Amino acid sequence: MKILMIAPEAEPFAKTGGLGDVLWSLPKALSEQAEVRVIIPKYQIIPEQYKDRMEFLGYTYVNLNWRSQYCGVFKLVLGNVTYYFIDNEYYFSGARMYGNYDLERYAFFSKACLEILPLIDFFPDIIHCHDWQTGLVPVLLDAHFKWDERYSKIKTVFTIHNLKFQGVHNKNFINDLLGLPDYYYTNDRMGKFGDANFMKGGIVFANYVTTVSPSYSEEIRQPAFGEGLDWLIGAKSDNLSGILNGVDYDVYSPQNNENIAFKYDKDNFAEGKRENKKALQEKLGLPIREDAPVISMVTRLTPQKGLDLLIQGMDRLMQRDLQLIILGTGDAEYENAMNHFAYHHSEKVRACIFFSQELAHQIYAGSDMFLMPSLYEPCGLGQIISLAFGTLPIVRETGGLKDTVTSYNEHTGEGNGFSFNPYNPNDMIYTIDRALNIYKSPRLWEKIVHTAMECDFSWSRSAKQYMEIYNKIIK
């Protein structure tokens, strides 16, 4: 089977979040069963070490209604996966991946990905599109390419990574780029009250739609999480699945990790956690105390991540004997709040308002608990990574958090972490207190840690589910 993945980002070339991780790990897992290739933009910010290895294949011109835009094509093979890069300096230069004429440049990118197939001599069985930036690919395939026999048998899968971001703009502006007939902008296709919606286009015109966790696929059928598209997703339910994102254990493992002070596995984690905790406390200037539980957050500082609950509950949290570490950047109000808490509770709180992959690994390894009180979470990787490191997650029961974390049950002894449901600080603090009380019983705590480290959320299981979908829509 030939699979072409189209996405706005992919690790290790350009990444802002979990989507980039997916486009590194999933193609690698699928390549064991199929021929997989990936297309992303050739951003200026791609590290030179990768640009220097790219092969220039040629160029074409992409028609955007009344004008043509240059489209260069570069190629790089990593492992069993071939990556292509769409080059256009007008659209993809600059120090940031997102924020500059996004609607126009991803309209160009979507059409370019289809235009270059003859140039790269690759007509796939499946085109798998990721998030709103590629939502136009199934639309344009239907509108401009299906009459070409080489394109006519291609099936499409569209994955919703976060429904909140949909790529919406005035229909006239979008049609100035695409030149589509008016019926593509009706409310049952990609239009809504005079606007055009990239995400909606992908959902309507793809042969199959997936989300990044089973619970999220159920949640977005409800008005509270559906972002105005719940009716459409409900109508698509026969061709909709939630497939949980995985984690690359070659990268996120305490057993073979060069970033942490002391390597360990599920059989010797007690010593490993102790040594990494000491190293983390020393690095961040916290009091070196083995008895004080360390709770951490590695996160974007945005409303989605439940920072409001943390702010509301901080006064009570600081009455507990614990240490709190936050790593990440985001909205200024949350960055300022975290700095405020670190200043006024200097013996207990560290706010690292930047991002470092090396420090993130050290935090996962050196912490006892990992806090994710998200308002909503399509999948989430932090809680899966924390499980791999034996750092017990404390999460709100939503989306992928609900699918991966089972709250410890004192009666049955089952569970790999702690969870709460209502979105309020009282329930969060109550659940943290539950974890703190159990932490005081070392044998019980170590039993739960061992359970957590035995969890398997590798990509092989998810890749198998995607292959089943690909085979289904081809047949």
pLDDT per residue as tens digits for the range 137-152 = 999 999 999 999 999 9
Does pTM surpass 0.75?
yes
- Identify the three-state secondary structure at position 37: strand
Q: Identify the architecture of domain 269-456 in CATH.
A: 3-Layer(aba) Sandwich (3.40)
The sign of the torsion formed by the CA atoms of 429, 431, 432, 438 equals: positive
Q: What pLDDT does residue 54 have?
A: 98
Q: 362: which 2 tokens?
A: 């050290």
Nearest-angstrom CA–CA distance, 113 and 127: 10
Cis check for the bond before 303: say yes or no (omega within 30 of 0): no
pLDDT tens digits along 98-126 = 876 799 999 999 999 999 999 999 999 99
Q: Edge to edge, what strands does the sheet with 294-298 contain?
A: 349-352, 323-327, 294-298, 369-372, 392-396, 418-420
Helix locations, 31-164, DSSP H? 48-51, 89-92, 102-115, 117-120, 136-140, 149-152
- In the chain, CATH 3.40.50.2000 covers 2-246+460-474, 269-456
Amino acid identity of 218? E
pLDDT tens digits along 155-211 = 999 999 999 999 999 999 998 999 899 999 999 999 988 899 999 999 999 999 999
pLDDT tens digits along 342-367 = 999 999 999 999 989 899 999 999 99
- Of the two residues 94 and 389, the one the predictor is more confident about is 389
pLDDT tens digits along 59-95 = 999 999 888 999 999 999 999 999 999 999 999 998 8
The sign of the torsion formed by the CA atoms of 384, 387, 388, 389 equals: positive
316 near 328, Cβ under 8 Å? no
Query: 2-246+460-474 maps to which CATH number?
Result: 3.40.50.2000
Task: Give φ, ψ of 468 to 5 degrees.
Answer: -65, -40
Q: What pLDDT does residue 100 have?
A: 66
pLDDT tens digits along 29-69 = 999 999 999 999 999 999 999 999 999 999 999 999 888 99
Q: How far is Cα of residue 204 from the mean position of the Cα atoms in its chain?
A: 22
